[in-house]
Amino acid sequence: MPQNQQILLDNRPQGEASASNFKTITSETPALQDGQVLVRHHFLSLDPYMRGRMNDAKSYAAPQPLGKVMQGGTAGEVVESRHPKFQPGDKVVGMGGWQLYSVVDANAPGSLRKVDTTHVPLSHYLGAVGMPGVTAWYGLTQVIEPKAGQTLVVSAASGAVGSAVGVLAKARGCRAVGVAGGPDKCRYVTEELGFDACIDYKAHADAVALSKALADVCPDGVDGYFENVGGMVTDAVMLRTNPFARIAVCGMIAGYDGKPIPMAYPQLILTNRMKVQGFIVSEHMEVWPEALKELGQLVGSGRLRPRESVAQGLDAAPEAFLGMLKGRNFGKQLVKLA
């Protein structure tokens, strides 16, 4: 069995996360038991939710255990199998974590899924045709419930989740407006993803200025908002919402360091009779097949062209993760391992 390199959570962050929170070790890969599969990871997914799990605090998921491999999504190839449904060479996705290899109990429901890379590249199964894409699909279709002709705003619009939200919204006849950081990301959102407009939040000093820019591109107001960031962007969008607007709360990256995220205009929730709903996509596995089918068709047809930021080698994972939390990535953040 091969030697395995692993990254562990060594200590919990005090404020901002740093590279010193992690530790790299080399370990022996255990021999397979009946029902187990050995997977060589090709790609590791880095996602904002991981930052919250580094804290020992009450949340929707248990904290990442100290001294254990950092948990996270992986895509790779079966190299050895003692399970009849998996053969060497099969391309698979799972939750193998920050390591080169994982030994998976393939009898556990949802532990490993075979994927077809004929039309969809393997890496996209960690992004647009994976958890981020299904997150976009669920928040849009089940929380916002858009109708043709309505206006939707998406924060972090160039990211793995936000990019899929906009394309899915356009497929339903909606006007899609993105908010992203920097002119390059905004160009991608409009020119490659097909959003109707995109606003660079970095070009605006405060929520009022950003809200005025939104008014120019949302002349009929905002009917739905897909929330990924919190803070100034949320305040700006709230000022433009229509009566009975719906907000799908997916993420609050502005508060992932543990600081409070004030909301400047909460009274608008009542004034506009808004629905504001948070959701966790792993609690809705029943919709995954339908969502993945549509997302796979959008990527395979070229209507959804996901961007990826790819760091090279497992050792690059901590710095790539920290950079993603600062918005340095462009699209889905991955680490290429093979």
- Regarding whether 145 and 85 lie in a shared domain, the answer is no
277-284 long-range Cβ contacts below 8 angstroms, 24+ apart: 277/143, 277/246, 277/247, 277/248, 277/249, 278/249, 278/250, 279/138, 279/139, 279/142, 279/143, 279/248, 279/249, 279/250, 280/60, 280/61, 281/131, 281/134, 281/135, 281/138, 282/131, 284/138, 284/142
Give a three-class secondary structure readout of 224-236. Answer: EEEECCCCHHHHH
Tell me the average pLDDT across 199-207. 97
- Is the pLDDT confidence value at 60 over 80? no
Q: Which of 92-101, 258-267, 310-319 has the lowest mean pLDDT?
A: 258-267
Tell me the average pLDDT across 83-93. 98
- Is the pLDDT confidence value at 46 over 90? yes
- Is the pLDDT confidence value at 102 over 90? yes
- Regarding whether 163 and 261 lie in a shared domain, the answer is yes
Tell me the average pLDDT across 66-86. 97
Question: Quick check: is 61 in a domain?
Answer: yes
Tell me the average pLDDT across 306-329. 96
Number of folded domains that form the chain: 2
- Is the pLDDT confidence value at 168 over 90? yes
- Is the pLDDT confidence value at 255 over 90? no
- Regarding whether 187 and 311 lie in a shared domain, the answer is no
- Is the pLDDT confidence value at 57 over 90? no
Residues 117-166 pLDDT 10s: 999 999 999 999 999 999 999 999 999 999 999 999 999 999 999 999 99
Residue 227's domain spans which residues? 131-282
Half-sphere exposure of 114 (CA within 13 A, CB side): 13
* pTM for the whole structure: 0.93
- Regarding whether 266 and 166 lie in a shared domain, the answer is yes
CB of 335 within 8 A of CB of 311?
A: yes
Of 1 and 22, which is predicted with more confidence?
22
pLDDT at residue 257, rounded to an integer? 73
Give the CATH number, domain containing residue 109: 3.90.180.10
**In the structure encoding, which two tokens stand for residue 276, read together?**
């504001």
- Regarding whether 137 and 111 lie in a shared domain, the answer is no
Tell me the average pLDDT across 81-106. 98
Banded model confidence at residue 22, pLDDT cuts 50, 70, 90: very high
Q: Which of 46-50, 256-260, 297-301 has the lowest mean pLDDT?
A: 256-260
- Regarding whether 150 and 252 lie in a shared domain, the answer is yes
Banded model confidence at residue 245, pLDDT cuts 50, 70, 90: very high
Question: Quick check: is 300 in a domain?
Answer: no
- Is the pLDDT confidence value at 259 over 90? no
CB of 76 within 8 A of CB of 42?
A: yes
Banded model confidence at residue 62, pLDDT cuts 50, 70, 90: confident
- Regarding whether 152 and 115 lie in a shared domain, the answer is no
* Amino acid at residue number 298: L
Of 187 and 48, which is predicted with more confidence?
187
- Regarding whether 239 and 252 lie in a shared domain, the answer is yes
Question: Quick check: is 148 in a domain?
Answer: yes
Question: Quick check: is 252 in a domain?
Answer: yes
- Regarding whether 240 and 196 lie in a shared domain, the answer is yes
- Regarding whether 103 and 7 lie in a shared domain, the answer is yes
User: Residues of the chain with pLDDT > 70: what percent?
Assistant: 100
- Regarding whether 312 and 277 lie in a shared domain, the answer is no
Give the CATH number, domain containing residue 243: 3.40.50.720
pLDDT at residue 256, rounded to an integer? 74
pLDDT at residue 144, rounded to an integer? 98
pLDDT at residue 289, rounded to an integer? 95
Average of per-residue pLDDT values in the chain: 96
- Regarding whether 234 and 140 lie in a shared domain, the answer is yes
